[in-house]
């Protein structure tokens, strides 16, 4: 445990794993290996800092409050406010845990860069959660970019398409030559499979494997 406290490289890696875990969970919306790695990294990081007297209980409480806000955002997607506050709380507590100085900010910055790079390397292989789809749609769901509007979605019922990302159960499919955010009727559907649109309710497009 002392080795981890005294080794700045390991501290940065632990923080990077924590944030990578959060990114993966926002993307997938499910409890998997990412959550387990994040819990282990957080336990080792905070446990080692606390046993050496480098952090107070309120530092840990702020961190846990941030995690809780992110979990609530994942389970009950809002406008992203809770996720933003949660990340801010986590960043604040980690900076304090690392010393609260310029060195702490530098270490946090390096950890964030590492986590973002790793996330970008694996993001295309991960299923998409409702929160992630909402984030993506807010940035890129314009008709001129090839995305389908709510009005156009009503015309998709009965049409065939191809799965672009794995449906677990939500993801993206190409219908009429354009990417559409869809959700399967319950079954997992692999990338590349043919699907048919069963129903459309607002922005919710339900499909099944053809």
Start-to-end CA distance of the chain, whole Å, equals: 54
Phi, psi of 179 (to 5 degrees): -75, 135
- Confirm if 141 and 147 have CB atoms less than 8 A apart: yes
Q: How far apart are CA 28 and CA 168, in angstroms?
A: 9
Write down the pLDDT at residue 1. 45
Residue 164: strand, helix, or coil = coil
∠203-32-174 over CA atoms, to 5°?
A: 30
DSSP 8-state assignment for residue 125: G
Which residue from 64, 116, 73 is spatially nearest to 94, judged by alpha carbons? 64
Each residue of 14-66: pLDDT tens digit? 999 988 888 877 777 666 677 788 888 888 989 888 888 888 899 999 999 98
- Confirm if 21 and 34 have CB atoms less than 8 A apart: yes
Write down the pLDDT at residue 142. 47
Q: Minimum mean pLDDT among 45-49, 122-126, 137-141: which range?
A: 137-141
Helical (H) or strand (E) element with 207: strand 204-209
Average pLDDT over residues 127-132: 58
Q: Which two tokens stand for residue 119?
A: 């996330």
Write down the pLDDT at residue 3. 44
- Confirm if 44 and 14 have CB atoms less than 8 A apart: yes
DSSP 8-state assignment for residue 167: B
Average pLDDT over residues 135-144: 48
Q: Is the peptide bond prior to 169 cis by the omega test (within 30 degrees of 0)? A: yes
3-state secondary structure string across 130-167: HHHHHHHHHHHCCHHHCCCCHHHHCCCCCCEEEECCCE
Q: How far apart are CA 98 and CA 51, in angstroms?
A: 14
Whether 131 has a pLDDT exceeding 70, the answer reads: no
Q: Which two tokens stand for residue 208?
A: 């099944």
Whether 163 has a pLDDT exceeding 70, the answer reads: yes
Give domain 141-209's CATH number out of 2.40.50.140, 3.40.50.300, 2.40.160.20, 3.40.50.150.
2.40.50.140
What is the residue-averaged pLDDT of the chain? 79
Chain centroid to CA 27: how far? 3
Q: How far is CA 198 from CA 157, 164, 192, in A?
A: 6, 18, 18
Task: For the full predicted model, state whether its pTM sits above 0.85.
Answer: no
- Confirm if 110 and 13 have CB atoms less than 8 A apart: no
Cβ–Cβ contacts within 10 Å for residue 139, how many?
9
């Amino acid at each position: 445990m002392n080795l981890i406290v005294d080794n700045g490289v390991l501290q940065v890696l632990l923080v990077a794993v924590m944030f990578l875990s959060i990114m993966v969970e926002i993307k997938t919306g499910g409890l998997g290996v990412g959550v387990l790695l994040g819990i282990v990294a957080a336990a080792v990081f905070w446990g080692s800092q606390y046993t050496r007297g480098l952090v107070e209980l309120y530092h840990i409480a702020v961190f846990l409050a941030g995690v809780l806000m992110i979990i609530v955002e994942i389970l009950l997607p809002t406008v992203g406010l809770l996720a933003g506050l949660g990340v801010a709380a986590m960043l604040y507590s980690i900076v304090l845990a690392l010393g609260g100085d310029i060195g702490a900010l530098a270490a946090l910055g390096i950890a964030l860069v590492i986590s973002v790079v790793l996330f970008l390397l694996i993001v295309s292989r991960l299923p998409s959660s409702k929160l992630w789809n909402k984030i993506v749609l807010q940035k890129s769901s314009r008709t001129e970019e090839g995305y389908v509007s709510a009005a156009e979605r009503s015309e998709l019922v009965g049409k065939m398409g191809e799965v672009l990302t794995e449906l677990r159960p939500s993801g993206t499919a190409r219908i009429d030559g354009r990417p559409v955010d869809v959700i399967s009727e319950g079954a997992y559907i692999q990338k590349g499979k043919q699907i048919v649109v069963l129903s459309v309710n607002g922005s919710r497009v339900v499909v099944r494997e053809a």
